[in-house]
Amino acid sequence: MAVSIEEFSRIIIATLDLNFQILENFFTLLVVSATNSSLVSQGANLNFSNVWGLIYGGLVSNYWNSFAIHEVLNATQHNVSAMKNFSIAINYLGSNATTVFGDAEGTKGVTYLQKGIYDYLKSNPQEAENLASSLSRMFKAEVEFLIKLMGAVNTTFT
């Protein structure tokens, strides 16, 4: 399947834009769910202390996942076959770095894609403006969420 770099870039930009909008909507939903007067009067509004509970749960899960990864890497050091595969993979990637990562001119690998995205944005200023607008709205929603979340610190952590 052949796709032009312009089409690929257009899809990447559209995906970024959509993801920014999704995050904006998610953070806005969290804030609105906490402050909506109908929900507040019913006692059904979002409690940011519970958001901290989700954050804590994610941290605990990541903590134990890190132990599992550590154990696997430690075992790899003591398994000649695993070390061989690891070494071969790193050597193969390193010997093909330009193919994978590209060059400074943006003619190969990842840099080719990045240059294509840059060129697309440069030649489509409206797309760049739309993306900037989505990014700034997402950032604003994140800040509003962060303010609410930090406002719950003293009532959450005793």
- DSSP string covering 33-74, please? HHH-HHHHHHT-SPPHHHHHHHHHHHHHHHHHHHHHHHHHHH
pTM assigned to the model: 0.85
Q: Give the pLDDT band of residue 147 (cuts 50, 70, 90).
A: very high
What pLDDT does 1 receive?
78
Exposed/middle/buried for residue 141 (C-beta within 10 Å: 0-12, 13-18, 19+): buried
- Residue 97, CB-side half-sphere exposure with 13 Å CA sphere: 6
Averaged pLDDT for residues 22-40? 96
Per-residue pLDDT reduced to its tens digit, 66-89: 999 999 999 999 999 999 999 999
Which tokens is 64 given?
């134990």
Tokens 């519970």 — which residue? 50
